[in-house]
Structure 1
Amino acid sequence: MQVKLPSERFFGKFEAVFLFYGAMPTGVTVSETGRIFICFPKWGDDVQCTVAEIVKDTLQPYPSAEANAVSQANITTSFISVQSVVADGRGTLWVLDTGAPNFSEPIIGGAKLVAVDLNTNSIRSVITFTEEVVLPTTYLNDVRFDFRVGRAGYAYITDSSSRGPGAIIVVDLETGHAWRRLNGAMSTSPDPYFLPKVEGTILINRNPDGSTSPFQLASDGIAISPDGKMLYYCPLSSRDLYSISTEALRDRTIPDMNVQADVQYWGEKGASDGMITDAKGNVYAGDYENNSIRKILPNGIIETIAHDPRILWPDTFSIGPDQCLYFIVNQLNRQPRFHYGNDLRQKPYSLLRMNIAELPAPTY
């Protein structure tokens, strides 16, 4: 007699928007007109272009093949290894270039924030960073914007370093001046007691020579409240959620060690890579240990809105004008560096979306 045993319950309705059979993607953003952009950091795959637009079911280098072609002569005006792309809701695609292929030390002048005009499909401005802001250990990860403060607005970037201090980098978009906040603070650092478990296996660095080391990455996920007054963030190697007032981050008269007094702890939400907020202030966060997506309400209540074995490492999130949550699923935990050099990823990687009946948080 064959008995069907009880099994784990999976739920959440989503659909595939695009399947990737080449390099592994990390970032996605959907513009206010519904254009979809993807980025592919150079982590060892054969990356044809590090920024692309999905056009008629194909990937096209964006804004051009030239912008994706790197040479020593155009380090500051071409894309080296892009980790994040963000459409700001008002006609600009912002490209966050780590300048650090294969997690190397950032190339001088290569780590940058680039504004691309979505109407002309051309680069409008480039902000590079000083060596006091982008350290030899820095890995620029994700970025959020608020254009209601300052003359041209501000950007907030996570430094998710694996071997140096984590931080939130604040950028005055008018002047390009930037500075580090919460540098090496507990809230931007990996949880030293965190032991991630993905697909039933402990996730650690496992090198081809047999040596191992902990998987420890600093501040990664980032989201901003609809009024621009609160910034949410989390280390990748942690299950905790933190927030801080953006005013405190911008106020240079407050010493960095004192800024930590403004940090609020929201408790555990699961271990997350990407995060995003909607127009009502709900925060959406992945839980890569449990193949899930969480929704954190403004009152702190957490709901799981999707739990499915196909959500194999939910990475970056974006909310489109169609009121759908878009997210990259890329099997990051199956990369060779976690399996003694053996690549366990199975193509295709995917861009998925689910209807959440909410619009993205405004930036202006």
Structure 2
Amino acid sequence: MSWKYLITASFLLSMLACKPAKQNQDKQIEVIASSDKQWTGVAVSQNGRLFVNFPKWSDDVPVSVAEIIDGKTVAFPSPEWNNPEKNESFKAVQSVVVDEQNKLWVLDTRNPLFQGVLEGGPKLYVFNLENNEMEKMYSFPEGVYQPNSYFNDVRIDTENQFAYMTDSGNGALIVLDLQLGESKRVLDLHFSTESEVDHLVCDGVKWENSVHSDGIALSPDKQFLYYIALTGHSLYRISTKVLRDLNLSDEQIAAQVEMVKKVPATDGMMFDKDGNLWLGGLEDNSINVLQSNGEIKKQVKDEIIRWADSFAMDQTGNVYFTTSQIHLPENQRKQYQVIQLKK
């Protein structure tokens, strides 16, 4: 891999300057930030700091993780961390998450351009937002990750000290004991982690692809992990108590998988504090909510919602999501946006 981009603060400001926020006709929708570069993940800290990440899906990616400050996109935690030529740096980040302890977690697939996982495997970093310094880094052994793995999304259980990830390259869930640093691969090639279809029709555009387990969400009581394939409509869940038991066999774990409901095709997912599960609506430019009573509500539908990718929520209940426009040819894409849905 030939890396060409040495990140500087001035370069970031010129290349990734966010456009002024604008209000959509629907007063519920507000564009918080825009970029010429494609982003996927979004995270909001407890004091309102806004983070995004840019996946390494092309050679034209000047930064991996950034914080939006005063309408500008600034490399986080530093330009050096975003210089892939350095040993300790991001290589191909797919998601960012802030946990209940206000720490930022960064999941690095280390699979740039989908050309295979780099030596050393995927990494999961945790940053202390008090000083913006890396607090810990987790690695995964071969077997837990596979040559074409793409660790996609992550959820952190601070109460039980576990992390859960999806592998959308080869369908599976990854379970990590944060105290021991031990991890395991579960539901590998299980029907619940496998893609269901070979395409989606999103806003009239046929997107031909087949992507396995992608979005995940941890229930507010930490008892269940929900997950779904990107190209599919079947939402599944499994007890986290089962996942945390490192002694159970694959067969014992698979026996505990529950089919929840058929839902709109979604990328990311997120629970709010009331037990409602927020979902995208990739096929009709919408945001949906699987309510705690089991009913699905179409929260908002608008042409501005061009592939809702990842979700985050601030302390007042406002919902944020990125638009990554994955289904559109590049010459048909508009600005990538972070959109806020007001509570």
Q: Give the TM-score normalised by structure 2.
A: 0.90
Q: Structure 2 counterpart of 1:347, which letter?
A: K
Code of the aligned partner of 1:84: S
- 2: CA distance, partners of 1:221 / 1:35: 23
The DSSP-based 3-state class of the residue aligned with 1:258 is: helix
Residue 211 of structure 2: which of 194, 217, 227 is its match?
217
Task: Supply the distance in 2 between the matched residues of 1:318 and 1:63 (Cα, whole angstroms).
Answer: 20
Moved more, 38-47 or 49-58: 38-47
Question: Who is 1:235 aligned against?
Answer: 229
The secondary structure found in structure 1 opposite 2:215 is: strand
> In the alignment, what sits opposite 1:15?
30
* Superposed displacement of residue 217, structure 1: 0.6
The answer as to 2:75 corresponding to 1:61 is yes
SS of the residue aligned with 2:146?
coil
8 Å contact kept, 1:313–1:330: yes
Count of residue pairs brought into register by the alignment: 319
- 2:193 is matched by which residue type in structure 1? T
Q: Which of these residues, 177, 181, 194, is aligned with residue 176 of structure 1? A: 181
Structure 2 distance, partners of 1:12, 1:299, is 27
Q: Which residue of 1 aligns with 2:279?
A: 285
- For the Cα contact (< 8 Å) 1:24–1:45, is it kept in 2? no
| CA–CA separation in structure 2 for the residues paired with 1:309 and 1:45 | 29
Correspondence for 2:166: 158
Instruction: Say if 1:105 and 1:194 are closer, same or farther in 2 by CA, change over 3 A.
Output: closer
Task: Quote the residue 1:208 is aligned against.
Answer: none
SS of match in other structure, 1:332: coil
CA distance in 2, matches of 1:37, 1:348: 17
Residue aligning to 1:185: 190
Which of 311, 335, 338 is residue 348 of structure 1 equivalent to? Answer: 335
Whole-angstrom distance in 1 between the partners of 2:219 and 2:153: 16
Give the equivalent residue in structure 2 for 1:5. Answer: none
| Aligned partners of 2:199 and 2:206 also within 8 Å | yes
Matched residue, 1:35? 49
Distance 1:45 1:319, change over 3 A: farther
Tell me if 1:251 matches 2:245.
yes
Structure 1 residue runs of 5 or longer lacking an equivalent are 1-9, 205-214, 336-342, 357-364
Considering only aligned residues, what root-mean-square deviation do their CA atoms show, in Å?
1.5
* Deviation sequence 1:93-133 (CA, Å, 0-9, x none): 00000001111211022510001110111111111111111
2:125 pairs, out of 114, 132, 139, with: 114
Q: Residue deviations 1:174-229, cap 9 Å, x none?
A: 121110111111010001x454111213211xxxxxxxxxx111100010011111
For residue 160 of structure 1, report the CA deviation from its aligned partner: 0.6
Contact 2:122/2:139 (<8 A) preserved: yes
SS of residue matched to 2:192: helix
Give the secondary-structure state (helix, strand or coil) at the position aligned to 1:67: helix
Q: Which amino acid aligns with 2:275?
A: G
What is the match of residue 338 of structure 1? Answer: none
Over 3 Å counting, the alpha-carbon distance change for 1:333 and 1:45 in structure 2 is: farther
If asked which structure has higher relative contact order (CA below 8 Å, sep 6+), I would say: 1
Task: Check whether the contact 2:138–2:181 (CA below 8 A) recurs between aligned residues.
Answer: yes
* 3-state SS of 2:81 partner: coil
4+ residue runs over 6 A deviation: none
Alignment of 1:77-116 (within 5 A): 77-116=88-127
- Using the size of structure 1 for normalisation, the TM-score is 0.85
Q: What is the CA-CA distance between 1:11 and the residue it aligns to?
A: 6.8
User: What is the aligned-residue identity percentage?
Assistant: 38
